[in-house]
Amino acid sequence: MVKIYSIPQCPYCNEIKEKLTEDNIEFTDVNVFLEENKEEYDAIILKTQSDEVPIIRVGNQLLVPNVSFHSITEAHDLTKKFLV
C-alpha cells in the first residue's frame, strides 16, 4: 500500500504521483488540506517531525523530504524498492 500525503498545488507532489501512475503503481492521495485528513496527517507529522510534502508511506515505511530523499527521482526509486 502506498499513500502520498500531498497538497494540490505542490509540483513535487504532482510529479511523484505522475511517476507512480506511469509505473502502474496504485496509491492513495491524501490531501493534507482537507479537514477529513487532518487527524491522520497530524499523526504523520508527529511521527516524522516534518510537515513537508510529499510524505510517502509504503507499507510501514515513511519517506520524508530532505530526510529520506532529496529528489523526486530518489523518492520514486525508494518507493519502488520498498514495494518489493
Domains of the chain and CATH, by start: 2-83 (3.40.30.10)
Question: Which residues on adjacent β-strands are paired with residue 3?
Answer: 28, 57
Task: Report pLDDT digits (tens) over 23-81.
Answer: 999 999 999 999 999 999 999 999 999 999 999 999 999 999 999 999 999 999 999 99
pTM of this structure? 0.94
pLDDT beyond 90 at 13: yes
Q: What is the pLDDT of residue 84?
A: 83
Evaluate whether 54 touches 6 at the Cβ level (below 8 Å): yes
pLDDT beyond 90 at 10: yes
Q: What is the pLDDT of residue 62?
A: 97
* Exposed e or buried b per residue across 31-69, where buried means at least 16 C-beta atoms within 10 angstroms of its C-beta: ebeeeeeeeebeebeeebeeeebbbbbbeeebbbbeebb
Handedness of CA 44, 48, 52, 58 (dihedral sign): negative
